[in-house]
Amino acid sequence: MLFRLASISFWILLCPTPGRSQAVPAHAVGQTSIPDRVAIDSGRAIMLRGMTRAGTPGASVTVMRGGRIVWSEGLGLADVENRVPVTTSTKFRIGSVSKSLTATAVGLLVESGKLDLDAPVQKYAPSFPVKAYPISTRQVAGHLAGIRHYANEEFLSARHYKNVTESLTMFSNDSLLFRPGDRYSYSTYGFVLVSAVVEGAAGEPFLAFMQRRVLDPAGMRNTIAEFPDSLIPNRARFYTRADSVSPTVNAPYVDQSNKWAGGGYLSTTPDLALFGDAMITGKIVKPATLDLLWTSQHTTDGKPTGYGIGWSVATDSAGRQVVRHSGGSDGGTALLVLYPKQRMVFAFLFNSDGPQPPLQRVIDLFVR
């Protein structure tokens, strides 16, 4: 049976909305001030209205300030057919927020002297063919290398790739789109190449290095590369909608093994908030490495791209530094936003790939 918008909206509004997950350490939960209570109520209303309009079954949100949880809540349904509510332990597809996780691995390898960002990528990924122009890891990780993005139905690939090197074959024989550095062109496949570079520089499989050096140190116990055939506790079901008048339906089957580094992880909003705070506080990488990751790169003619290594970087209207990454995947939408100077982190996850609520309005309620 197809669950049409009216039915889904009904369940979003009536579904229990669990608060803080038991997965969040007790010491990380702060006292809620009156202004924050008002912000939480307003933010919840904004999200529920947006979810109803978009036909999005479920969502999770976590707001962290100064290392303590201000708001962490599940909204709506993780599984429509079985009426399973979202909690803050629900695992969603985070899409391209995976690039920010991968960028941390790059930073760690630079710190240890194992990775030269400006060396040709073939130094670490020898299976990747030499192109008409040399390309570096810095250019690839900043979307300046000219590597193409998805084509045709590749976004919905159902093929399983046994390792990172095999996944390179999806694009490795294609020509570069332009001379490296000439322009910015977003590419998830670029981060597949970055994962091969990480493997070569680290001397161990990409997923193993990520677990040992990024996820475990950040305390991310509920973040995992998605394997479609594995039993993964608290994994949401994923949904899609063709347009504003079409029913919400199950998203197509996909296998994310072609893009672990660029869009293949599952996570929870508390885990993403822990990651963001660990980055801000230098728990994983050094301050100099943060500057490397969070400084905009430039095209060869000197124009800033607004993207560092694995992060979009900007300054808001009040002059505050903002670093972020959004993510879109089959049946999933994600947003991770950091205000480093204020030590604030916002994580949003949805189990639908349609338009989502105006999340900047939610963020503005808390940034003071």
Annotated catalytic residues are 96
Residues paired with 76 in a beta bridge: 58
**Rounded Cα distance, 85 and 21, in Å:** 13
**How many CB atoms lie under 10 A from the CB of residue 34?**
7
Long-range contacts of 286-291 (CB under 8 A, 24+ apart): 286/111, 289/107, 289/108, 289/110, 289/111, 290/107, 290/340
- The DSSP element (H or E) to which 359 belongs, if any, is helix 359-366
What does 90-146 look like in DSSP terms, one character per residue?
Answer: -BEE-GGGHHHHHHHHHHHHHHTT---TTSBGGGT-TTSPP-SS--BHHHHHTT-S-
Half-sphere exposure of 295 (CA within 13 A, CB side): 9
**Rounded Cα distance, 329 and 93, in Å:** 7
**Rounded Cα distance, 218 and 282, in Å:** 10
Q: Where are the alpha helices (DSSP H) in 246-358?
A: 260-263, 269-280, 287-293
Judge whether 133 and 308 are in contact, CB under 8 Å.
no
Half-sphere exposure of 156 (CA within 13 A, CB side): 9
SS3 59: strand
354: tokens are 């349609």
Read off φ and ψ for residue 40, nearest 5 degrees.
-65, -45
> Cα 107 vs. chain centroid, distance in angstroms?
17
